[in-house]
Amino acid sequence: MKKLFKVILLQFLLFFSIVEIVNSEEDTIVPNITYDEIYDPLEPVNRVILGLNFFIDDYAIRPVIKTYKFIAPDPVEKGVSNFFSNLKEPIRAISFIFQGEFMKSINSAGRFTVNSMSSLGTFDLASRMGMVKNETDIGLTLAKSGVSSGPYIIVPIIGPSNFRDLSGDVVEYFVDPISNNIPNRTYLSIGDGLNARAEVDDQIDQIREISTDRYEMIKSIYYQNRNSQIEEDFVQNLPTPKIYIE
């Protein structure tokens, strides 16, 4: 049954990817999005799920994160964050191979070896040795090979994504060599999720305090962050206001 599910899922992803490539035609590699016109046909459903996510966050996740951030000293937080980031180095190495970035792939594999051997990944010794961390994932690999983002979606509990990035996450779930070979994977996934939530705690507080429309703010931040990982001159290409004499 599990195998059948995997096959159906992979077929679905493959079909989805082909459809996207055909539809996206020429300007697929650089997304060139005007951020106030992001493809969002599921907005009404997304808004409901976002409300639900904030409700769960308010009553279950946020208190845990605030307590953790209050109790844990900065070096501990950093260590935990490094640990979970290090577990993603093998999947980064695989992603870079598919992107044709072989040196970066070797760098990721090297980082994993050095950091795991020296401190189980809790200390980033590799960076000190000049092996700089490069972020990537399967979603970005799909983006760089021309797959457009598809509709924006809010995933229950997990948060903002789009069809392409969510597909990437699903593929990662099945092919990640580390988490597939670790017992108690569920606990690891929960820990990773909580760590990811703790890392964006300040930003979520800001969204609560300063946004006029938190749904739009989260969507815009999500796409800007993803595009910054896809486009080389991301900052230079961001829209700038017309200049008025003050």
Partner 1 sequence: MFNRILIIFFLLINYAYTEDLEITNWFNKESKQFLEIMNNSDVEKHQNYEKYKKFVENNFAIKSIAYGLLNEKIIESNNEKTLIKYQNTFKSYLTKTIYNLANSSTSGDIILKDIDVKDGVFIINSDISDKTSSISLYWKVVKVKNNYKILDVIVENTSYFVTKKSEFTKILRKNRSNLEHLIRELEKI
Minimum CB–partner distance for residue 239 and partner 1 (Å): 6
For residue 84, the minimal CB distance to partner 1 (Å) is: 16
Read off the tokens for 242. Answer: 């017309």
State the residue for tokens 């679905």.
12
3-class secondary-structure state, position 233: coil
In this structure, which amino acid lies at residue 127? S
Nearest distance from C-beta of residue 230 to partner 1, angstroms: 11
Q: Which residues contact 131 (CB under 8 A, 6 or more apart)?
A: 107, 110, 111, 114
Among 62, 78, 133, 185, binds partner 1 (CB under 8 A): 78
Residue from 62, 173, 216, 230 binding partner 1 (CB under 8 A)? 216
Q: With CB under 8 A as the rule, give the number of residues binding partner 1.
A: 35
CA distance 185 to 178: 10
Of 148, 162, 164, 138, which is closest to residue 25 (Cα–Cα)?
A: 148
Out of 25, 26, 36, 232, the only residue in the binding site for partner 1 (CB under 8 A) is 36
Question: Token pair for residue 63?
Answer: 């208190």
Q: Which is nearer to partner 1, 8 or 238 (CB)?
A: 238
Q: Binding segment for partner 1 among 9-17, 56-64, 83-91, 222-230 (CB under 8 A)?
A: 222-230
Element (H, E) at 143: helix 138-144
What residue ranges bind partner 1 (CB under 8 A)?
Answer: 35-36, 38, 74-75, 78, 202, 205-206, 209-213, 215-217, 219-221, 224-225, 228, 234-236, 238-246
